[in-house]
Chains A and B, each alone.
Chain A
Amino acid sequence: MTSNIRYKSRIPVKTEENAEEKQYVGFATLPNQVHRKSVKKGFDFTLMVAGESGMGKSTLVNSLFLTDLYKDRKLLNAEERINQTVEIIKHTVDIEEKGVKLKLTIVDTPGFGDAVNNNECWKPITDYIDQQFEQYFRDESGLNRKNIQDNRVHCCLYFIPPFGHGLRPVDVEFMKALHEKVNIIPLIAKADCLTPNEIKKLKDRIREEIDKFGIKVYQFPECDSDEDEEFKQLDKELKECTPFAVIGSNTVVEARGQRVRGRLYPWGIVEVENQSHCDFVKLRNMLIRSHMHDLKDVTCDVHYENYRAQCIQEMTSKLAQDNRMESPIPILPLSTPDVETEKLIKMKDEELKRMQEMLNKMQQQMHDKDQ
């Protein structure tokens, strides 16, 4: 073993020949350096939960993160909720595990889907998500970017009731309103009231309807081709298991001689972390242990960028209309201007193309009329 071990590099270093040693530069340790810096800085993650009351959202969040975020919550009764609109409530908790700090923000949406008339009940939610994007956009374009707070929503867990036969109109409309703004992960709530057969049927039905309605839920990234077979197999199972059928619990029960999180019924005990009982473990592993980072990446690279491009387009078209030289926000960010102007040119081109097509159509119509 040579002194290269100091860098804890995962890449096997050929240490036998001196010639190799001379050629080894050492930047392969970069991932480890990044890792160490991030651990010092800590991570943040914003998770939104949406679905009607009584779907077990709070219980699931507490089970996932082993916290008790809803200790002082007071449940309203039906009379009190008559004129309630959808609220947005944030809970923040700092969790530390093995030296890694996570600042977790849970965005709750009480009131969603509870009224008699739920028209556009998702509007406060889409507004909230857009506001976070806008705030980040301003911060990013501003002068002092040292301490930008990232409040963008990285993931939205949507709870589908287990009682139905598939997606309801409100489920479809909600997901369609949000699928291009946030990563949506649909879940089947309170899955312990379904038999294994019923769960399978419901999952198949939901997957079919998601396809049919063109809803873009969060897709797990493809495995790298050089991953081992076992990993690929697990990944495949994970993908075929969606939407996850979950159960949560804040109570510990005794099952098979062990103390586990579960629910005690007269006919048996449901164990939250038992994979043959529900998909809780799969959800937790996916959300926290393997895909947390990817969720953040997709939020930044896809959803946020879409928002930003749209924002810029609106602003430039407004500028063109107003013909003003100055704008309230510095729209040309300090990063690569070429990419920006290229994007603008592309958008203008597409607009021109569309107008040209319309003109052609009108000409054709007039031509047909004449004949």
Chain B
Amino acid sequence: ISGSGSTLLGYIGIDTIIEQMRKKTMKTGFDFNIMVVGHSGLGKSTLVNTLFKSQVSRKSAGWARDDKIPKTVDIKAVSHVLEEGGVKMKLTVVDTPGFGDQINNDNCWEPISKYINEQYEKFLKEEVNITRKKRIPDTRVHCCLYFISPTGHSLRQLDVEFMKRLSHSVNIIPVIAKADTMTIEERQDFKQRVRKELEMGGIEFYPQKEFDEDMEDKSDNDKIREAMPFAVVGSDKEYQVNGKRVLGRKTAWGIVEVENPNHCEFAQLRDFLIRSHLQDLKEVTHNIHYETYRAKRLNENGGLHPISSNDTQESNL
């Protein structure tokens, strides 16, 4: 970075700000909220556990494996604090049992939409307060993993309905669940068909084209968009393969290795979600989805009045 005309005579040390920010982030830690949506049995809990290499899902939190499918969609959030390399992350996994499991699934997306908006509302109320907390607790959903059933044919109607309605209020990342149901060829065909249907339905999944900031972003994100939705397999069991211990699924005809890019695209999803775009997911949620919600709220009913933190919360949505 150089100013127009002037040359820096000697080293000032502006670049150390990055190091200072990094140290600060490590000390304060950060929040990340991920929601999983899909009908029961698609391996949502297992995948989340595999992604974060810990027992972080609702099922591992001691809630018994529900014997009955709930009559309406439940929203269940479980939080854990994970630490890696000195960085602390408070991970909240929001599960949605009951979605798509009934005979009549009309409007089963409404409880989910309501939850997402409630988190925006909570944040907005804090922001608008006279005396604001130093760090507003962030319960907003940063990322919604939508699990597509690997039928091999195309998207189901419910998939299209859900993603159409929610892609404008939250970052949706569609994934193809239980990818070990399909051969590589079937998987490619399926992906192509799914991508076409997403396009035809006008569904903008994350990373959305319109939010690419510069050419570099665009080219990176184009590559990712072309490879999505990622076909994944999850597992919390380890097996010995070629002298190494790997996470996998053991069948009578071989071991499916979760982190082997020749077997499935879990590693790609993990790298994308956690190692490169984690911060961006939060930023898009804050700068775009939340701002959209805020603008809408402030425009209706003459806006929100700043309240003191003594008032009870009411969210009329």
Q: Please give the residue numbers on chain A whose beta carbons come within 8 Å of chain B beta carbons, in ascending order.
A: 52-56, 75-79, 81-82, 114-119, 121, 161-165, 168-170, 173, 190, 192-196, 263-271, 276-277
Contact = CB atoms under 8 A, between A and B. Distances in A.
A119 B102 CA distance: 9
B181 A190 contact: yes
Contacts of A267: 180, 251, 253-257, 263
Contact of B106 (A75, A117, A173): A117
Contact of A196 (B102, B153, B251): B251
Contacts of B196: 77
B104 A119 contact: yes
Contact of A78 (B197, B255, B262): B197
Nearest to B178: A193
B157 interface: yes
B42 to A, nearest CB: 6
B226 interface: no
A68 to B, nearest CB: 17
A54 B157 contact: no
Given A75-B154, A169-B102, A192-B181, A266 B149 contact: no
A79 B157 CA distance: 7
Nearest to A84: B157
Given A78-B155, A267-B257, A277-B252, A193 B106 contact: no
B129 to A, nearest CB: 40
SS class of chain A's interface: helix, strand, loop or mixed?
loop
Contacts of B158: 116
Nearest to B102: A169
Interface string B235-276: 000000000000001111111110010110000000000000
A270 B154 contact: no
21 contacts: A77-B193, A77-B197, A78-B156, A82-B157, A114-B157, A115-B157, A116-B106, A116-B157, A163-B177, A165-B41, A168-B69, A169-B69, A169-B102, A192-B181, A192-B253, A195-B249, A265-B254, A266-B262, A267-B251, A268-B255, A276-B252
B252 A165 contact: no
B139 interface: no
Contact of B253 (A55, A78, A161, A269): A269
Given A119-B103, A161-B41, A193-B178, A77 B251 contact: no
Interface of B: 39-43, 65, 69, 101-106, 149-161, 177-178, 180-181, 183-184, 193, 196-197, 200-201, 249-257, 260, 262-263
Nearest to B65: A165
Given A277-B252, A277-B253, A263 B157 contact: no
Nearest to B42: A163
A267 B233 CA distance: 13
SS class of chain B's interface: helix, strand, loop or mixed?
loop
A167 to B, nearest CB: 10
Given A118-B104, A163-B177, A277-B252, A53 B153 contact: yes
7 tightest A-B CB contacts, nearest first: A54-B151, A268-B254, A268-B253, A164-B41, A267-B254, A193-B181, A163-B41
Contacts of B250: 195
Given A168-B69, A169-B103, A173-B103, A268 B251 contact: yes
A77 B104 contact: no
A119 B104 CA distance: 6
A270 B149 CA distance: 21
Given A54-B153, A77-B197, A263-B183, A165 B40 contact: yes
Nearest to B66: A165
A118 B106 CA distance: 9
A271 B253 CA distance: 9
Contacts of A77: 154-155, 193, 196-197, 200
Given A54-B153, A192-B180, 9 more contacts: A78-B156, A162-B181, A163-B177, A169-B101, A173-B103, A192-B181, A266-B263, A267-B263, A269-B253
A163 B178 contact: yes
B160 A78 contact: yes
Nearest to A173: B103
B101 A168 contact: yes
Contact of A117 (B105, B151, B180, B255): B105
Contacts of B104: 116-119
A173 B101 CA distance: 13
A43 to B, nearest CB: 33
A79 B201 contact: yes
B159 to A, nearest CB: 7
Most chain B beta-carbon contacts within 10 A, residue among A53, A168, A270? A168
Contacts of B153: 53-54, 75
B39 to A, nearest CB: 8
